Each structure stands twice: as C-alpha cells, then as structure tokens.
Amino acid sequence: MDMGSLLFIFGATGDLATKKILPALQQWYGEEMPFARIWCLGRRSLDKQSYCRLVEEKGGFLLTDPLRARIDYHRLEFDDPWAYADLRDRCDTEPAVDGRRLFFLAVKPEAFVTVATRLQQAGLFIGGEPNHRLLFEKPFGESRTSAEEIQARLMTLAVEEQVYRIDHYLGKDMIRNLLAIRFANRIFAESWHGRAIETVEITSIETAGAEERFEYYDRAGAINDMVQSHLLQMLALVAMAAPDNFEAEPIRRRKIDVLQHVGLDPDRPPVLGQYRGYGPEGIASQTETYVEAAFRVDTGQWPDTVFLLKTGKKMGEKRTEIRLRYRASSMCLNCTEKVTAAANELVIEVYPQEGVLFRFNSKVPGYGYALEPVLAHYCHSCRVDGYKPEAYVKLLKDALAGDKTLFASFAELLVQWRIADRIRGAARGRGPVVYEPGTMIVGGEGGMGC
C-alpha cells in the first residue's frame, strides 16, 4: 500500500475525469489508498465540496469517505503561471511524501505542452526525474504532423521514460486476455495465420451520438477518436508475431513491426459515414461518425487475410469485439460424397460482455453425417464478483509502478497516424455517407455491416 504519492488531474471537471478517472479511483480505494492527495484541477470557480457534488452528479455515483478525504480542488487556467505557483505552495504544505507524482492531462492535445511547460516552470515537474510522470490521454495530436510537433516540444521538458500515452482500451481486461488466448493455447497458437484465417473483423460501435462531446468530436471525427488509437492497437495485438517475452519492449517492437506492414486493401475503399441529425441545427459539418476500412498485412504470417475495422456512433447496438473467421473446409465421407462445413469463428467479446465464443462443427445427432455449427462460450466477466476490473485502475496502477507495457510509444503513434492519414486520403473528395440512427449497415451494397 502506497499513501505517499500525489496525483494531479487536469481537466478535472470534464467527462473523462468525472465519469472514468474518479470512479476508477473509487474502485481502487476499495482495495488500498494509493495517493496521499489527489489534486483536481479545472477552470471553474469551485471549492472542494462543490467539486465533489459535481463529480457525483456527472459521474452518477457517491464518493466514499476515504476518497473524498484525499481530493482537493484548485482553480487553474492552463496558461496562468501564478495559478501553478499557488498550487506549488499548497503542495508544499503537505506532509512528507515519497516523491512520486503523476500528472494526468485529460485535456485537449493543444494544451499538452502548455501544461507541461507551466508545471516545469513552477517546479512541480522536473525533467529527468523518474518519479515525475506525465500521463497524456488520447488523441496525442490531431495528425501525424501535430503529434511530431507536440513530441518535439515535450522532449525539451521531459525524457521519454517520463511520458505515458494512454489508450484505455489497452487496460481492458479482455484486451489483455487476448495475448493469453493467442499464446497459451496450442489450438489457437498453431492456426493463428492467414492460411487458416480468412478475415479478422474488429468492431467497436455504439448507440450514443456525439452530443455531449460535440466540440471535441467535430474536430477529431471517428478516424482520430477510434481508428487511430483503439482499433489499430487491437489490430496490432492480433496480427503481431510472437514476442521474445511479454515485457514492455518486446511487445512494443512486435506491434511496431506489424503496423509498418499494414496497408489499405486496394479492392475495398474505406467508407466514411455521418448519422442523420449530427450536430447542432444550422451547423454544416463533414466530420465522419462512422468508419469502415479494409486492410492487408504484408507479412508472411497473413497471406490473403483481410482485416476489417469498423466503428460508428448512433448504431443499432453498442458492441466491441474481435471476430476471426476461419477459412471454410469440407469433410470427405467417401469417394463420391463430400460434406461442406461452415467456417469456424473465434470471437473475443470486449463489450457488453467479456468472453470468448468459438463456433465449430459437429455431426447432427442421428445416423447420418450432416454437419451443423455449434457454439462453445466462455464468459470472462461472469467470473468476477463485485466490481469488474476497470481499465483506468490498471493503467494508473502501472503508471504509479513505472510499468509502460500498456502505454503506447511514440514510434507506435507515428505508424498509427500514418495509417489514419491514408484512410483520410483515400476518402478525400467524397463526403460522408448519411445514415439513419439505429442502422447496422452503412454505405449500401458496399457497406460491410456490423
């Protein structure tokens, strides 16, 4: 148990802080008390009590006494040096702590360098001090060019070892379980290649729209918000070769290796869509709320396999999964009779239920040899009593411990931005297809469906 570290949350009145980070801390505080103080930093004029009420109203939960006792609120404009000096003075009145400081920047990418600069100028963050760590919520930039600019400026303030780029999907328990399923089961490990697998579909769709996040979302779009980060990270975990071991660097190298070989399928142009009624009335926008893109992975492991990435808002259901469809086979009964077998499927379910579904073929009961597909289903989330493991708990624990396995390196981000820019380039000149809220297929006959 660690009660001597400090956590600073920038953007503490926003949805991410109130609906994700603080609830995750509450879950963590049910196990231990990791931080001596949690400094919640925002632009609103609030005291601690009014801030806690705001968290409970927006987050839809009640703060427990142990967590509430460690929360403090400090009003701060991101570019106001005096506000940082006041924060430093307030921190100096704290009892002796162990020196570890996590700075969680749940803010827009254009504020990353400003906040880091002011933290250093105030003496709150020291470049090169391994116990001082900057956590950046995605997206890291708005394009490859802006990501490179942010990185170059940050490296004048910090070293790479102090930078933790968050993709919260990597903290999800079932995404982490993917490596165990792949490499700890011979039945899958020896058939995890393109000669056996015809398609890999990675889907993350939701019923909600962009209403509450319109200002951010209209600038980012589905490509930056979902494809560039979450979906490409999942693709990398599926398609990468086996690492030498499961420490951070070997996994990171394998992900970078495979992402460098990912290219758009020339026979299946990407489809961008926008749900009808997107945005406030009177605002015309070309921002995509739906993306489907087909890729090829140009490595010896994946000949002729198509990787399909799909994400969208205002769809008919909320679901995240990885679906591997194996190549169909047949069963030769004798010299003249052959029975066609349905394609096997392996589904890694991430949301709403976490688990694994495996579709295989079995003989229909009786005297003949007719085949039928049957299902084997493992429910991972059903195994958990009480709270399910929360992604942000895992990520905060790892950041506090200095473990960067589940955090994206800058080299990964650059390759992911290259792929995202290629999707955008391939769709340039074509406006998004308008689709009706609640649909499951976008783009007519060309759409892949969900």
pLDDT single digits (tens) 67-83: 999 999 999 999 999 99
- Phi then psi for 395, rounded to 5 degrees? -65, -40
Task: State pTM to two decimals.
Answer: 0.90
pLDDT per residue as tens, the chain (450 positions) = 445 799 999 999 999 999 999 999 998 887 777 899 999 999 999 999 999 999 999 999 999 999 999 999 999 999 999 999 999 999 876 655 668 999 999 999 999 999 999 999 999 999 999 999 999 998 888 889 999 999 999 999 999 999 999 998 888 889 989 999 999 999 999 999 999 999 999 999 999 999 878 888 998 899 999 999 999 999 999 999 999 998 889 999 999 999 999 999 999 999 999 999 998 876 889 999 999 999 999 999 999 999 999 999 999 999 999 999 999 887 776 666 677 788 999 999 999 999 999 999 998 898 887 888 999 999 998 887 656 668 899 999 999 999 999 999 999 999 999 999 999 999 888 889 999 999 998 975 445 556
User: pLDDT value at position 386?
Assistant: 59
CB contact at 8 A, 222 and 311: yes
End residue of a domain, out of 120, 146, 166: 166
Report, as residue numbers or ranges, the catalytic residues. Answer: 230
Asked, for residue 314, whether it belongs to a domain, the answer is yes
Task: Retrieve residue 115's tokens.
Answer: 């906040």
The pLDDT of residue 46: 95
Angle of helix 232-239 relative to helix 410-426, nearest 10 degrees? 110
Point out the domain boundary residue: 148, 166, 184.
166
pLDDT at 339: 73
- Identify the domain boundary among 97, 131, 166: 166
Asked whether residue 398 is assigned to any structural domain, the reply reads no
Bond before 352 cis per omega within 30 degrees: yes
Based on the fold, state whether residues 214 and 143 are members of the same structural domain.
Answer: no
One domain, residues 104 and 212: no
Task: Write down the pLDDT at residue 97.
Answer: 67
Q: Give the CA radius of gyration of the chain.
A: 24
Q: In a 3-state reduction of DSSP, which class is residue 342?
A: coil
Q: What is the pLDDT of residue 341?
A: 85
Locus of tokens 């349905």: 342
The kind and range of the H/E element at 320 are strand 319-326
Residues 143 and 183 in one domain: no
**If you search the block for the tokens 């951070």, which residue do you land on?**
248
The total number of structural domains in the chain stands at 2
Residue 362 covered by a domain: yes
Q: Is residue 395 part of a domain?
A: no
Does 394 reside within a domain?
A: no
- The predicted structure's pLDDT at residue 53: 96
Q: What is the CATH number of the domain that holds 364?
A: 3.30.360.10
Please give the residue range of the domain that contains residue 136: 5-166
* Structural domain contains residue 254: yes
In a domain, residue 396? The reply is no
Residue 71 pairs in a beta bridge with: 38
pLDDT of amino acid 1: 40
Tens of pLDDT, residues 413-436: 999 999 999 999 998 888 899 999
182 and 162 in a common domain: no
